[in-house]
Copies of this chain bind each other. A is one copy, B any other.
């Protein structure tokens, strides 16, 4: 079964969440069931870019990962778009056989039986500012499908309403390691691929989020920026 691939790049470091700083190759799939207002990867989301997504088999994807990694197994990060829309079980089986480990990030809108084959699963349901609705039933189906994967919850926070939503949601899943991430105030877009992020505003949001979390004594929440945005300023392919 073929997988819609937007880009494969790396090795670089993971810039977000539980595996921040870990060397990884990114496999980005094309196509998404969401359209978040502040999406920073619209080239892997909007149907008008469909022609840019290459259908690839698991073997061809792994061959490219192997070329980039120099044949030394590392963490492969499956991102999108929503990678949960793709048939990734064969890639996982093939990659594991060669010593690779796999992390995937998804919004939790579609569960697949193969989630349980992942080493790490980041569920990142979208907050009110995204314009997308949260579907608890689907989210919990994803959680259940995760099985033995290391599951963490990563919530993007753009404003006070998002923060309150995140607090309530996280309270319902006390068993999940929790990461809060300030929303990039100036993501690159297909129209402005070279757009520089507003580092000052990003830092202000981060400081606000730290103050909010510590002020509420919400010590379970881990606060992390998108490191790659701070380091590479929205650049693609790093």
Q: What is the interface of chain A, defined by CB distance below 8 A to chain B?
A: 10-13, 20-23, 69-70, 72-75, 179, 199, 203, 206-207, 210, 213-214, 217-219, 221-225, 227, 230-232
Contacts and interface: CB of A to CB of B under 8 A. Distances in A.
B21 A219 contact: no
A156 to B, nearest CB: 14
A219 B72 contact: yes
A179 B21 contact: yes
Contacts of A207: 231-232
Contacts of A69: 217, 219
A224 B23 contact: no
- Count chain B CB atoms within 10 A of each CB in A21, A73, A203, A213 and give the residue with the most: A21
Contacts of A214: 10-13, 23
B13 A210 contact: yes
A13 B223 contact: yes
A77 B119 CA distance: 30
Contacts of A210: 12-13, 231
A210 B228 CA distance: 11
Contacts of A70: 217
Given A203-B230, A206-B231, A221 B20 contact: no
Nearest to A199: B199
Contacts of A219: 11, 23, 69, 72-75
B222 A225 contact: no
A218 B23 CA distance: 8
A217 B72 contact: yes
Given A10-B214, A21-B222, A70-B217, 13 more contacts: A11-B214, A11-B217, A12-B210, A12-B214, A13-B214, A21-B179, A23-B218, A23-B222, A23-B223, A72-B217, A74-B217, A203-B231, A225-B227
